[in-house]
Structure 1
Amino acid sequence: MDPRNELHTLDFKECFELLRTQSVGRLVFTERALPAIRLVNYSLFNGEIALRIGRSPRLPRLDRAVVAFEVDNIDSTAHSGWSVVVIGKARQVVDIDELVMLCDPAHRPWASGGGDQVLCIDTEQVTGQRLPLAPG
C-alpha cells in the first residue's frame, strides 16, 4: 500500500481550521437509548460549536448531555477528504448576551421553523483524519 494514501491524524489546530471551512455537520446524541443523528448547520462561537435548533418531541432535551459532532468534506472522485469529530457536553445557552450574539443572522438555522433552542458544545475532545489526494 502506498503510504501517501494512508489516513493522517490531524492535530487540534488543523481540526479547528477545517471546522471553520464548513457550515453543516452531524449532531450525534442518544434518543430513547439509541444513537440518533441530525444534520444541522453550525458556527464556531468562543471556541465552542454553536447550534440553533428547534424544540421537537423527536429531539430530546440536550442540555448537559454528552454528544458528538462530526464535520467532513469528502471528494469521492479523487478518493480524498477529511473528517473532524468533536465530543463534548452540550449546554443550553441562557445568558442573554450570548443569546443576542447567537441570534445574529449569521447563526440562523437553515431549516424553517427552527432555532428557538441555542446549544453550544464544548470542544473537550477533538479528533480528525485526512485522506490525502491520491497520487497520479
Structure 2
Amino acid sequence: MTGTRQLRELTNDEALHRLGSVPFGRVVFSQNAMPAIRPVNHVVDGGAVIIRTHLGAALLRSVGVVVAYEADAIDADTRLGWSVIITGYARRVQEAGEVRRYEEMLQPWVDGAMNQLIRIRPRMINGFELVEAREEVVVT
C-alpha cells in the first residue's frame, strides 16, 4: 500500500504545460442532448488544444458550442500524477497556413481522411496533481 495523497491545484500555465506533455486525451461534447466522449490525439499550441477528426464525426456538430477536453497521467502503482480539464468553444481551423502546419504537427492515429481540424481555446482550466502528503511538523 502506498502513502496518503494530497490534491494540489495546478496554475493555468502548469495545467497547459502538462496537457501539452501527453499525446492524447478525451473530448467531451453533446450528442443527441447527451454527453459523448471520444479519445483523440492532440497538440497544444498558443494555449489552445488542436485535434483532428473526419468529416462524418459527431464532434463536428459541436463546432461553435462549448466542449470539454481532459487528459491525465496517473501512475497505477503509486497513484500519483495529474489531471487537466479545459472547457471552451470548439472552432474549426480553416486558415490554409494553419491547416498545413497542424496537419504536419498532428498525425492521426487511425486510418481514413482526418482532414478536419478543431481548436478549443480554454475559457476555464482546471488542473490537479496527486502528490504524496506532507507530514505536519508539530512544534512544541
TM-score, structure 1 length as denominator? Answer: 0.88
- State the distance in 1 between where 2:119 and 2:86 align: 12
Q: How big is the shift at 1:20?
A: 1.8
The code of the aligned residue for 2:115 comes to D
Which residue of structure 1 aligns with residue 89 of structure 2?
A: 89
Two-structure CA RMSD over aligned residues (Å): 1.9
Q: Structure 1 stretches (4+) deviating beyond 3 angstroms?
A: 57-60
Aligned residues: 132
How far off is 1:89 after superposition? 0.2
1:36 aligns with 2:36: yes
Deviation track 1:41-78 (CA, whole Å, cap 9, x = no partner) reads 00012221000111226444221110000000011210
Q: Match of 1:108?
A: 107
Counterparts of 1:57 and 1:42, CA distance in 2: 16
| Residue identity in the other structure for 1:15 | A
Counterparts of 2:11 and 2:100, CA distance in 1: 32
Q: What residue ranges of structure 2 are gaps of 5+ in the alignment?
A: 135-140
Give yes or no for the alignment of 1:123 onto 2:122. Answer: yes
Q: For the structure 1 residues 102 and 87, does the alpha-carbon distance in structure 2 shift closer, same or farther, using more than 3 Å as the test?
A: same
Once residues 31 and 73 of structure 2 are traced to their aligned partners in structure 1, the CA distance between those partners, rounded to angstroms, is 26
Q: Which residue of structure 2 lines up, in the alignment, with residue 15 of structure 1?
A: 15
Matched with 1:46 is: 46
Identity %: 33
Residue 103 of structure 1 aligns with an amino acid whose one-letter code is E
Q: Contact between 2:30 and 2:62, CA under 8 Å: does it hold in 1?
A: no
> Hey, what's the Cα distance between the residues in 2 that align with 1:20 and 1:59?
21
Instruction: Normalising by structure 2, report the TM-score.
Output: 0.86
Q: Which protein has the larger Cα radius of gyration, Structure 1 or Structure 2?
A: 2
Name 1:68's counterpart in structure 2. 68
Name stretches of at least 5 consecutive residues in structure 1 with no aligned partner: none
CA separation of 1:57/1:96 partners in 2, compared to 1, >3 Å: closer, same or farther? closer
